Amino acid sequence: MSPNYNFTFANGTLTVTKARAELSLANLSQSYDGTGRAVAATTNPGGLSGVTITYAGSPTPPVNAGTYDVVASLINANYTAPNVSGTLVVAKANQAISFTAIGDKQIGVSAFMLDATATSGLPVTFTLVSGPASLVGAVLSLTGVGSVIVRASQPGDTNHNPAADTDQAFAVLAVAVPSLRVNLSTQEIVFTWPVSAEGFVLESTTTLSGPDWTTVASAPMVVGDQNVVIGPVAGSARFYRLRKP
């Protein structure tokens, strides 16, 4: 206290305003992978808490390919920053096809399934590019001798680009028919062919102009290295052949 002055006390308010900060966005260009595609937001000064990000108004990062409006905002006790906006672009993912190789086949084999998969997990479709065959879905049937080319395709979807077509080529080979020997007497007819020619059956018909070939009932005996079928002499003309079913 001073003998020459009187003092009075005054009340006041100290206001400490929030410091200004800045926000920035990163990772705005991404590709679909089946998970949420979150962007990154940084602050200046760094490491500030209270940053929130919305994607087209939702706090959940989007999963699907597309374009999304992104807004980052800061709610912090000591800093304030203007919202920052950006555009997140989630591109479609690429994919590839794995098509199991098809080995050369002999004419007469049963229809078989084609096998191919896409890295996306999407279904693969097949088309017959060329050759003596017919295709229904994934089942291929051979109709003649020659070269066959089959194509596997996957056209993509909302999240995947089309895969590059993948072709498989193979040859359809003629079956080497073994020599059929015939010995005819007045009482019986004897047919022989090599045992090494596995899978062939003996068939007969009364005319070559029709499809009416039937399997000869007698099962072959094995004599040495030969299949042997013995039958009665037919009362009318008959034709015989070996065929591999």
Look at residue 200 in the predicted model and tell me its pLDDT: 86
Per-residue DSSP letters for 82-127? Answer: --EEEEEEEEPBP--EEE-----EETTPPPEE--EEETT-PPPEEE
Look at residue 1 in the predicted model and tell me its pLDDT: 54
Among 173, 200, 234, the domain boundary falls at 173
CATH number where 155 lies: 2.60.40.10
236 assigned to some structural domain: yes
User: Are residues 132 and 68 part of one domain?
Assistant: no
Q: What is the dihedral of CA 44, 48, 52, 53, to 10 degrees?
A: 40
Distance of alpha carbon 42 from alpha carbon 226, whole angstroms = 86
Report the range out of 2-6, 9-13, 109-113 with the highest average pLDDT. 109-113
Among 68, 91, 114, the domain boundary falls at 91
The band of 2, judged by pLDDT with boundaries at 50, 70 and 90, is low
Q: Is 239 left (phi over 0), alpha (psi -120 to 50) or beta?
A: beta
CA angle, residues 186, 192, 194, in degrees to nearest 5: 170
Average pLDDT across the chain, whole number: 92
Among 150, 173, 196, the domain boundary falls at 173
User: Are residues 233 and 185 part of one domain?
Assistant: yes
User: Are residues 104 and 74 part of one domain?
Assistant: no
12 assigned to some structural domain: no
Domain hosting 132: range is: 97-173
Residues 42-91: pLDDT tens digits?
A: 999 999 999 999 999 999 999 999 999 999 999 999 999 999 999 999 99
Look at the block and give the residue holding tokens 């050759």: 131
202 assigned to some structural domain: yes
Q: How many angstroms separate the Cα of 156 from the Cα of each of 97, 109, 127, 128, 211?
A: 11, 34, 16, 20, 46
User: Are residues 61 and 23 part of one domain?
Assistant: yes
Q: Is the pLDDT of residue 241 over 70?
A: yes
Distance of alpha carbon 101 from alpha carbon 169, whole angstroms = 8
The reported pTM is: 0.68
Distance of alpha carbon 201 from alpha carbon 164, whole angstroms = 45
Look at residue 199 in the predicted model and tell me its pLDDT: 80
Copy the structure tokens of residue 53: 């990000």
224 assigned to some structural domain: yes
User: Are residues 203 and 149 part of one domain?
Assistant: no
Distance of alpha carbon 182 from alpha carbon 189, whole angstroms = 7
146 assigned to some structural domain: yes
Distance of alpha carbon 31 from alpha carbon 11, whole angstroms = 61
CA 98 to chain CA mean position, Å: 7
Distance of alpha carbon 114 from alpha carbon 124, whole angstroms = 10
14 assigned to some structural domain: no
Domains: count for the chain: 3
CA 237 to chain CA mean position, Å: 56
Is cis: bond before 61, omega within 30 of 0? no
11 assigned to some structural domain: no
Question: Sheet containing 214-215: which strands, arranged edge to edge?
Answer: 214-215, 201-205, 239-243
Q: Is the pLDDT of residue 201 over 90?
A: no
8 assigned to some structural domain: no
User: Are residues 82 and 41 part of one domain?
Assistant: yes
User: Are residues 102 and 145 part of one domain?
Assistant: yes
CATH number where 80 lies: 2.60.40
For residue 42, the cross-strand partners are 24
Residues 14-50: pLDDT tens digits?
A: 889 999 999 999 999 999 999 999 999 999 999 999 9
Residue with the larger pLDDT of the pair 19 and 107: 19
